[in-house]
Structure 1
């Protein structure tokens, strides 16, 4: 047990084999989630490795890129140079003996190497083939799929940032993460379908579609009214007060979602009359009179330290919190008993890695954080003929596509 996280054992996907041709973030995030729940994931890399191995600083104590480490634990790494006949043959063997293939090359690349879904299907009819693209396989196939680009063309930057400032990206590659989660979900759906039909299927996800779906209420409003929303900074287009305020020492957020909360909020502030003010008695009125409401709240909140306000609001069941930095956020989660950090140790080298723990919790088959992100090519190429470190059963030598396990 490390940081409250089990680091050995099997998972609900134990026995599942994944050939991971993906690089950077969306694909590796999806395959790491599969690995966390027991899948045997081999990361098939070029001789130079995943691009993110070189994205540094920051680095961990062993000098490895923390960006790469964030999405590659619990995997094995093999090098296959697809420009050579030997490397290509080995890559094809790995794909043909896998339950799942994941790739995020530009459309047409896998076809050129004979590693596309159609080329592998005859040899492995049970294969689940997941392809991740930036803009689909149609008219947008040639467009480069970078997270920042998709945040721009997908509308997210237009609603992020100060009202009078420039459009802003989110502080993490959120579109890649969302797409990785969609790929993870799609693969599980395809495996469930395979259980029923005995045949694998193709899973397609793209960055732009993932972002548009994630715009949820903002997209719904635009589609219903024909008017695109603008930037509101930290305010909410449909709820007030639901934004950031400055206390005496630092910022806090208040997230009032209904009238009971607003009345309690006003009482804690010592301004109960605000809940009876005709301008603020409904959420719709509060949104329409947001500027006047904020003008009334700012001097009151600025009079006391943020932590005092947060404690007082919590006692009154009013949603509020400090604006934590990342280190404070992990400390906060730990204080709540959430076990937010997964620490893994290489049993051979002693190299350790600390990463965010898997946020999905199954009571009967929890995620298992077994091994740190692999060094490039650390596991050789004959992975399909070996028993994974976490698996105490014999290796499966059944013909490709004939496994009975999911």
Structure 2
């Protein structure tokens, strides 16, 4: 099993036993793998992580045929080793205990109490590995009235207030609550979990003491509302949806151009004046209804339709070129094909190609974490189901070929 160089990675000395599936837990494990940790992903024999079948689309081979690897699975599992173990069996539970004894971190996202019946909960594993860092990720945490509920990102976005802030104004066409375009509660829980694991490892390295981490999607969703939380806590008034507009600044929103959409963020009166001059309506700069931001906010329902008609007269790129030259903050709303063709994204190396055992190669995302001394590694491809089972059991745990074959014959691995 290749182990990253300790000298060139931040976490080359760390082994992570990843018992998670779907997105929040795998996202955390992938971050740790990007930083050089050895991550061993444990999946169910035969089926594996649920997301392996969450397609189409699927990864295609050199001939254009679909493989069995769904794009969803590929998004959260780069740089890991994959083994299959049936943890519902006594033999499978013993394998997990042996792996935990040789690991620094255990990640899991089973229902509350489910691993305790297998003897794989924190209290059980810390007896064999006292300095273990053990992170549980659930929808609602280990206690409280909702602890045993299943947690789904979409539901948590609603329960945690995010959708009350996201979407078009109720009084406009299409108004109403809207979820994010990606599973933001899952992803942010993966990010917060990464930070918590790193903090616990730092404490362990200082003191030799392991600890338990209790992460909940709902906690994270509530916490990440940032200034909107404080707007409510400071005023007692619940913020409302503003779509792509800003409650306090006009114009600070999206506009349709002749061939796409742009964002214009005129943060002061001077920028607004340049915007309307470029658009051929300089008289709007001196109009007493619009010449200051408070007045523009007051009269937004009159001004914004005028600006929208003005913006439609030029293309997206024309507007970007003119506004950037004038120093008016702006940006395009790009489709993903445009994102990956953007010269800045290209220059930052955000798309990488790595070898893949089933497809020949696969395009992946690079880690955005750019460290000068211990950079994120170039990852291996997301592993095939059970790809490393024999290597991990043989090289790490010392199982012989006959023992491995016996476990295979019993469908334990």
Q: Give the TM-score band, short-chain normalised.
A: 0.7 to 0.9
Give the Cα separation in 2 of the matches to 1:148 and 1:328: 27
Identify the match of residue 324 of structure 2 among 308, 314, 317: 314
Residues 277, 360 of structure 1: CA spacing in aligned structure 2 closer, same or farther, 3 A cutoff?
A: farther
C-alpha distance in structure 1 between counterparts of 2:361 and 2:146, whole Å? 41
Distance 1:198 1:66 in 2: 40
The answer for the alignment partner of 2:83 in structure 1 is 78
> How far does the alpha carbon of each residue in 1:191-226 deviate from its partner, in whole angstroms, 9 at most, with x for none?
111122121222222111111111112222122222
Question: In the alignment, what sits opposite 2:241?
Answer: 231
Q: Is the 8 Å Cα contact of residues 156 and 217 (structure 2) preserved in structure 1?
A: yes
The alignment's C-alpha RMSD in Å is 2.1
Once structures 1 and 2 are overlaid, which stretch shifts more, 323-332 or 216-225?
A: 216-225
Structure 2 residue runs without a partner (length 5+): 62-66, 397-413
- Tell me, in whole angstroms, the C-alpha distance in 2 between the residues paired with 1:35 and 1:384: 20
- SS of match in other structure, 2:86: coil
CA separation in 2, counterparts of 1:336 and 1:50?
31
Is 1:242 the equivalent of 2:257? no
1:367: which partner in 2? 376
Compared CA separation, residues 224 and 37, structure 1 to 2 (3 A): same
**Equivalent-residue separation in structure 1 for 2:108 and 2:350 (angstroms):** 29
Unaligned segments of structure 1, at least 5 residues: 1-7, 388-406
Q: Structure 1's 295 and 191: CA in aligned 2 closer, same or farther, altered over 3 A?
A: same
* Cα offset, 1:369, TM superposition: 2.3
Normalising by the residue count of structure 1, what TM-score does the alignment of the two structures yield? Answer: 0.87
Asked whether 1:269 is paired with 2:267, we answer: no
Residue 162 of structure 1 deviates from its aligned partner by: 2.1
Q: What TM-score, normalized to structure 2?
A: 0.86
Question: How many residues of Structure 1 are paired with residues of Structure 2 in the alignment?
Answer: 379
Distance in 2 separating the partners of 1:278 and 1:11 = 60
Q: How far 1:133 moved relative to its partner?
A: 1.1
- The structure-2 alpha-carbon separation of the partners of 1:350 and 1:58, relative to structure 1 and needing over 3 Å to count, comes to closer
Q: In the TM superposition, what are the counterparts of 1:159-238 in structure 2 within 5 Å?
A: 159-164=165-170, 165-238=175-248
Q: Does the 8 A contact of 2:340 with 2:346 survive in 1?
A: no
**Equivalent residues of 1:127, 1:201 under 8 A apart:** yes
Contact 1:13 1:38 in 2 (8 A): yes
* Bigger RCO (CA 8 Å, 6+ sep): 1
Task: Provide the residue aligned with 2:161 in structure 1.
Answer: 155
Closer/same/farther in 2, CA of residues 364 and 280 from structure 1, 3 Å limit? farther
1:400 aligned residue: none
